[in-house]
Structure 1
């Protein structure tokens, strides 16, 4: 039971999407299928990379970290979202709501940082091929992955210790999960400082990762253009196509979401965009890195032949 006392709210009600039962049923079926593909595709790719020692390379360490993080985010958000289509105003405990919110905002920035690390890896492989094994060691890669999570945690540290103590005036969250902006609207106090810090940290992570990626590819393109052979240029740059594809999708969706007008009457568009941000990249990841990567295709083929996938 939800208390009306502003300091003793124990549960939140997630409003979900607007629309009637037919639309909700269609969305339920479509998003459930997408969720199943995300789980199956990313789990399959992670297992293939872990089991095949030929893929124990820096690029694939970052890819496993990215796939695992994106899949975990989906497992944290999508089941509750799907339940709302069946049971309107699905309830979530206060502790569960804040845990979902903070986990989402710790893990999501890490995905952008992983893409930035992958661009640095491509830069080292293309521009410094002889020094690549000594620059991008597995130990350095694992330390970089840990650093991404630490940076993401530091960005959310102040809200993490502040938000749970703020008084709450309403228990209805106008979203399909405990999204930060929707939670901010429930507090009885001014949250302008928290909103400002949220914007600053988002810009820092998003633009920082994007700038790293752009600078890396400026050097990569410069190095590729110095190759005399057209075949050599094509072969060298083909190693970056999969990463460039995911960078375009992830950063494109995020930048559009950040630059669009934030108004109450755009709330349903915002929800749709967040669904896209959460589900599109992990859905496409296995296909992009499998169909355009000969090493992964060879590993899958060998695993199927030997019946040793799991």
Structure 2
């Protein structure tokens, strides 16, 4: 029977219910990774605010990425946690729509932020003398705001278009309200919806990826021309973390959103979503901290600092920007 979204009170999330033992293991792993994600990304945001040496475009964008990762993981993991702890596999209509919007908005913003960060590395390595002029505070704010606004607007377009489709069921074969899993409930295929998904996917995946590749082509060419081995190593170390994150994120996202619609792999899609929704946000702060002396030094300073003074500093920092 054909239903409109307005007539659906709640959706059933099937999750990994066909693998009950695996579901418990996944729940424990996801909860552990979520806590690591919260801790790691919160530390990165805190040190980027507190340490004056980290008041640079690179750490400004990294703070945006960390905040976005916290929001993204929260929206991805919460339905799975509720399902296991609360023994509820249903989600209300408004909750499902909000969860779908948030995951799309955060995912889309990350694609654009990674491209912006690649451009930042390009300017820093290829035009070091002009770097403070090109990447000034105003430009950085505009680039970050542009990424967030574009990500949120494209997510709104996709979500609102999906909400208009007639549905032939309310059981979603996924652990979260993921848009591709929801579209499989549609009674008829919509050319408009297919076009929107294709255009947004191309806009947010191959195009930023292409810009990242161009940036890194120039970066590699410049690094190879550096005479000193120390100079080359320093340039490589500042880029290797970002490049690792790009490969992890875009690799999984491209495999999911740009595969032919005829390929039915919902079980695989669940694990891919789990990877880029939970694993990647957890790895980001670890990757950026591994070979980064600035981050390690800032963390040591933070641990030695009086916590009350730290709180006062954060409050003053935010009030000064208002």
- Cα displacement string for residues 72-101 of structure 1 (whole angstroms, at most 9, x for unaligned residues): 011112021122234566121111111111
> Residue in 1 aligned with 2:47?
48
> Residue in 2 aligned with 1:84?
83
> Residue in 1 aligned with 2:200?
201
| In 2: Cα distance, 1:155 partner to 1:4 partner | 27
- Cα displacement string for residues 126-182 of structure 1 (whole angstroms, at most 9, x for unaligned residues): 111111001111221111111012222343343344333443331111111111122
- Cα displacement string for residues 240-269 of structure 1 (whole angstroms, at most 9, x for unaligned residues): 111111112112222233455656752111
* Deviation of 1:306 (Å): 2.2
* Deviation of 1:37 (Å): 0.8
Contact map agreement 2:47 2:299 (CA 8 A) in 1: yes
Higher mean alpha-carbon deviation, 105-114 vs 78-87, is at: 78-87
- Tell me the SS of whatever aligns to 1:12: strand
> Residue in 2 aligned with 1:296?
295
| 1:120 lines up with 2:119 in the alignment | yes
User: After superposition, where does 1:205-284 map in structure 2 within 5 Å?
Assistant: 205-258=204-257, 266-284=265-283
* Deviation of 1:39 (Å): 1.1
> Residue in 1 aligned with 2:319?
none
| In 1: Cα distance, 2:54 partner to 2:159 partner | 37
* Deviation of 1:183 (Å): 1.5
User: After superposition, where does 1:57-206 map in structure 2 within 5 Å?
Assistant: 57-86=56-85, 90-206=89-205
| In 1: Cα distance, 2:286 partner to 2:249 partner | 15
- Tell me the SS of whatever aligns to 1:239: helix
| In 1: Cα distance, 2:146 partner to 2:134 partner | 17
| In 1: Cα distance, 2:253 partner to 2:69 partner | 14
Taking a change above 3 Å as real, the CA distance of residues 215 and 240 of structure 1, as seen in their structure-2 partners, is same
Aligned residues: 308
Structure 2: where are the runs of 5+ without partners?
Answer: 312-322
Contact map agreement 2:100 2:159 (CA 8 A) in 1: no
| In 2: Cα distance, 1:77 partner to 1:248 partner | 21
Taking a change above 3 Å as real, the CA distance of residues 161 and 272 of structure 1, as seen in their structure-2 partners, is closer
Higher mean alpha-carbon deviation, 159-168 vs 207-216, is at: 159-168
- Tell me the SS of whatever aligns to 1:28: helix
Taking a change above 3 Å as real, the CA distance of residues 265 and 189 of structure 1, as seen in their structure-2 partners, is closer
TM-score in terms of structure 1 length: 0.91
TM-score in terms of structure 2 length: 0.88
Contact map agreement 1:18 1:268 (CA 8 A) in 2: no
| In 1: Cα distance, 2:261 partner to 2:272 partner | 12
| In 2: Cα distance, 1:223 partner to 1:288 partner | 23
Query: What do you get for the CA RMSD once the two structures are aligned?
Result: 2.2
Contact map agreement 2:106 2:151 (CA 8 A) in 1: yes
> Residue in 2 aligned with 1:287?
286
